[in-house]
Structure 1
Amino acid sequence: ALARRGAVARGRGRAACRARGGRARGGSRRQARGVRHEADLPRVLASNTKLLTTAAALAELGPDFVFETRLLARGEVRDGVLDGDLAVVAAGDPNLSGRFHDGDAFAVFRPWARALAARGIRKVSGDLVLVNGIFEEPRVHPDWPRDQLTTWYEAPIDALSFSDNCVLIRVRPGRGAGSAAVVETVPALPHFRFRNTARTVDKGGRLFVSREDDADVFVVSGTIARRSGPLDVWVAVHDPGAYFAGALRAAFAEEGVELGAGTRPAHGLPEGVWEQVAAHRSDLAATLAVTNKRSQNFYAECLAKLLGYRLEGKGSWTAAAAAVSKVLAGLGVDPAHFRIADGSGLSRGDQASPRAITTLLERMYFHSFGREFVRSLPFSGEEGLAWRRRLADPPYRGNVFAKTGTLSGVSTLSGYAKGATGRVYAFSILCNQVRSNAAAHAAQDRIVRALIDRG
């Protein structure tokens, strides 16, 4: 076990920080007494839940796991026309976007269109079949705040998804004061609709962008200054299947391949003779990094539901929680000390004690996949991330690998801290009933600095 050492602090006001720390030097498993505070009391985790989800995914799937989303075709080709259907078979891959392609949203789909063209296919007369049977509804967890369903962090979870199931809404000023603002989606897709009452004003301006609860109708209101540049807002879509199909058609059209108008969802691949045309593959390491470094809820939920499907036979929230819990128990984390509701921490039902978190961190540090796990975590001072301003001064910069977590009244920080002598400490600081995030962050940072200063 990690040598148990740490420091404890309370947040200001009503903030209660439960803390536990531990130490490792190389492969040592020598026991030692340490300092801890309410280490066995479960607390709301917020995004520290992602540590549980990603550890379970890595331990169960292995670092060499690859998502494979397949494009298949059936039918005869005559004069450049496929007299038949295309099918896309889902793999639960959250990476079908422009994230790893310099922002080119269609980059994943372009090779598919070119593969069809290489077979002499310039038009598909039949349907586009979306084989999407591994994740079950509902797509939005029942615990998630109902007044935030259009935000990027509450995007619906589907096994066949495009661009994190979010679309970029771009608003520009009109020709002059009093004119309507110009609204578009990026990329432009025909099935999206708008209710736009936003107007252009001479100075100032305040815009509001949302979506109707049960349709992909985006509502834009307020004002925008006439000299303003474009304003971009990411909004979660309502219908992931329609979004995926629309994006695929648009990408294929750019490559000179026309798809038929019909789209059919399917739980499994329809009967017939299908031939694989192309596939997109994504690796687990990059997926874990986005999940933890970017704290991307959509990625975490896809991982959790995939584990549910593989271990429990269902891609439901209940199966996901059972699967993650099963893997964690197999790693030696006492199930009495944690409870899983979703994969991201957006649910307040995700709770664990500091002891459970540090036990998991210990097990993963000494795990054969431990290096991959630590690499997936954000580090102190890392540019472009929430960490860039915390613990960013020497000797702390680059020596803390940890996951933050934030909900209303919740601030958490758990991970590893490396002392000057090379000792590595596992720690978990879970603050609930927080009135001030700044005060909670300051308390957490003091604890981590104390660990590093111990050497």
Structure 2
Amino acid sequence: MASGLLGLAAAAQAQALPGEVEAALKRAKLPASALSVVVQEVGNGPPVLAWNEQPPVNPASVFKLVTTFAALDQLGPAWSWSTPVYLTGPLRDGVLDGSVVIQGRGDPKLVVERVWLLLRRLQQQAGVREIRGDIVLDHSAFALPERSPGDFDGEPYKPQNVQPDALLLNFKSVNYSFVPEPALGFARVAMEPVLAGLQVDATVPLSTGPCDDWRLALKPQLTDPLRVHFAGSYPLACGERSWPLAAADAQGYGARLVDQLWRELGGRLGGSVRDGPLPPGARLAFDQASPPLAEVIRDINKYSNNVMAEQLFLSLPAASTSMQPAAVAPPAPAASGAAAALPALPTTRPEDARDHLRRWLASRFGEAAAQQAVVDNGSGLSREARISPALLARLLQAAWASPVMPELVSSLPVSGTDGTLKRLNATIGRAHLKTGSLRDVAALAGYVLSDKGRRYVLVAIVNHPNAVAARPALDALVQWVIRDTPALPAPSAAPGCCAR
């Protein structure tokens, strides 16, 4: 066996962390017992480093690896969500004497461009230009408890805290842009998308201060669902900036967006855009498919998109049986009054999704292994979620050996290149790793290519009140794996802790 692999194996035999990793932990004033590690060559024998790997720990966003691999494993990379659109009442010469119903089935990527395309298709394909009734938004595929976006960390306007929704439109968020006009003494403010009935200050005064805390300097007033007001100023030194924020009126966001886009497209609406269930007798006009699952999980893993992960998690129970609507048929002729048979729409609760993912873990890795995980949600934005690093390493090994390996690996951030791992400039392209961060968690998990051409599974998780200081230690561990280098002389193992 080559010397590099022997060097890595020596660390496990010595029951020690690599010296540079332990030194980085000491500098951060973190105990070695706060770190859990598994390093193992893909498909090749026991771990070469295992430290504190059996006790379940909070993985933060690294849990998205469980959700996304489970989805790929069960559904395949080409699977997609469907958003059917139904009509009620007769349609003559572009005038619908009834309502349009858009039925959400969990699509995480109904961004503004795709909502626009859906409404344009309603006009061009279904031939609806005037609606004498309403546009009804059906959210009933998910049965979710009442929760505030600020429940987790007290910051309800962070897009990462947006709650899932069976008909999630544009992440219920608005992107505010600020363009300085120095000669006029103000910055122009624009929002994308425009929402019907929501007013935003068109300008905000410029200031001459530094750009450090420009968001705080703006003093945004966000609680009014009908107006966004910036009471402060915008630093000229910032140049052009943008700021995505979750909408204050999360419940009414979809109606405002659809109303605005429908009217921009020249559509006429006699009633209103409102929430409601699909009524009996509606007929299927068309079905809009989402991008394929492989594309969606790239957004989830590379950018750690919480609400997209939750959409996927809640979709799994019904998707594994079938969420596709009945065969698409054109609207029935007005005179016939015929109605297409409606497909059954199962309603998913969070507990259904949790049970489904637990069953998948047990079927894949055994009941005993599944007991090493506490499934709370699909994103890892949780204080209760737990998984053992040993089980997570087994999952990564199974993913590497599976037919969907290319899709999962390509969804992970690439060190020094993109996503949440862009900062690791010293290891450009050598690691595909999902990151995880909470107030008391710092984590990395994925695959690392060493200088000797070996590919390793790496799982490294820190649970500690000062976990934010652990990043240099995790980065040192990545570098150690890349170099295939032997560990420095072994320190004593932390009491009651660690490796085999």
TM tier, shorter chain?
0.7 to 0.9
Rounded Cα–Cα distance in structure 2 between residues aligned with 1:276 and 1:184: 35
1:208-235 deviation line (CA, Å, top 9, x unaligned): 33532x9565453322357975653211
Say whether 1:126 aligns with 2:133.
yes
Query: 1:360 corresponds to which residue?
Result: 395
**Alignment check: 8 A CA contact 1:177 1:202 kept:** no
**Alignment check: 8 A CA contact 2:39 2:48 kept:** yes
The structure 1 residue matched to 2:423, chosen from 381, 389, 394, is 389
Rounded Cα–Cα distance in structure 2 between residues aligned with 1:453 and 1:226: 45
Say whether 1:13 aligns with 2:45.
no
Query: 1:329 corresponds to which residue?
Result: 362
Structure 2 vs 1, CA of residues 254 and 367 (structure 1 numbering), >3 Å: closer, same or farther?
Answer: same
**Alignment check: 8 A CA contact 1:92 1:302 kept:** yes
TM-score, with length taken from structure 2: 0.77
Letter in 1 for 2:163: P
**Percentage of matched positions with identical amino acids:** 27
Say whether 1:63 aligns with 2:77.
yes
**Alignment check: 8 A CA contact 1:340 1:350 kept:** yes
Q: CA deviation at 1:283?
A: 0.8
Q: CA deviation at 1:46?
A: 1.2
Query: 1:167 corresponds to which residue?
Result: 174
1:406-445 deviation line (CA, Å, top 9, x unaligned): 11132101111122343221121001215363x5222112
Query: 1:100 corresponds to which residue?
Result: none
Q: CA deviation at 1:315?
A: 2.7
Query: 2:456 corresponds to which residue?
Result: 425
Structure 2 unaligned residues grouped into runs of 5+: 1-5, 322-345, 486-500
Report SS of the residue matched to 1:402.
strand
Equivalent residues in 2 for 1:114-193, closer than 5 Å: 114-138=121-145, 140=147, 144-170=151-177, 184-193=190-199
Equivalent residues in 2 for 1:249-264, closer than 5 Å: 249-264=259-274
Q: CA deviation at 1:61?
A: 1.8
Q: CA deviation at 1:81?
A: 1.6
The structure 2 residue matched to 1:208, chosen from 201, 219, 227, is 219
Structure 2 vs 1, CA of residues 174 and 192 (structure 1 numbering), >3 Å: closer, same or farther?
Answer: farther
1:126-166 deviation line (CA, Å, top 9, x unaligned): 11121221112236479942511111110121011111121
1:168-210 deviation line (CA, Å, top 9, x unaligned): 234567999999x86553222223256x799625523711335
Rounded Cα–Cα distance in structure 1 between residues aligned with 2:85 and 2:77: 25
Equivalent residues in 2 for 1:201-280, closer than 5 Å: 201-204=206-209, 206-209=217-220, 211-212=222-223, 215=225, 218-225=228-235, 231-240=241-250, 242-267=252-277, 269-280=278-289
Letter in 1 for 2:296: T
Q: CA deviation at 1:309?
A: 4.5
Say whether 1:72 aligns with 2:86.
yes
Say whether 1:50 aligns with 2:64.
yes
Rounded Cα–Cα distance in structure 2 between residues aligned with 1:241 and 1:130: 11
1:306-357 deviation line (CA, Å, top 9, x unaligned): 1244569653332222222221222216122111212111111112221111
Structure 2 vs 1, CA of residues 64 and 118 (structure 1 numbering), >3 Å: closer, same or farther?
Answer: closer
* More displaced stretch, 86-95 vs 218-227: 218-227
Say whether 1:303 aligns with 2:312.
yes
Report SS of the residue matched to 2:140.
coil
Say whether 1:344 aligns with 2:374.
no
Report SS of the residue matched to 1:244.
helix
Say whether 1:110 aligns with 2:126.
no
Report SS of the residue matched to 1:75.
coil
**Alignment check: 8 A CA contact 2:433 2:444 kept:** yes
Say whether 1:93 aligns with 2:92.
no
Structure 2 vs 1, CA of residues 190 and 50 (structure 1 numbering), >3 Å: closer, same or farther?
Answer: same
**Larger relative contact order (CA 8 Å, sep ≥ 6):** 2
Rounded Cα–Cα distance in structure 2 between residues aligned with 1:361 and 1:279: 33
Q: CA deviation at 1:21?
A: 1.3
* More displaced stretch, 49-58 vs 144-153: 144-153
Equivalent residues in 2 for 1:428-443, closer than 5 Å: 428-433=459-464, 435=466, 437=468, 439-443=469-473
Rounded Cα–Cα distance in structure 2 between residues aligned with 1:276 and 1:115: 8
Rounded Cα–Cα distance in structure 2 between residues aligned with 1:120 and 1:413: 51
Say whether 1:36 aligns with 2:55.
no
Rounded Cα–Cα distance in structure 2 between residues aligned with 1:326 and 1:229: 51
**Alignment check: 8 A CA contact 1:332 1:363 kept:** no
Query: 2:441 corresponds to which residue?
Result: 410
Letter in 2 for 1:446: A
Aligned residues: 433
Letter in 2 for 1:134: A
Q: Which has the higher strand share?
A: 1
Rounded Cα–Cα distance in structure 2 between residues aligned with 1:227 and 1:425: 45
Report SS of the residue matched to 1:403.
strand
Structure 2 vs 1, CA of residues 208 and 23 (structure 1 numbering), >3 Å: closer, same or farther?
Answer: same
Structure 1 unaligned residues grouped into runs of 5+: 98-104
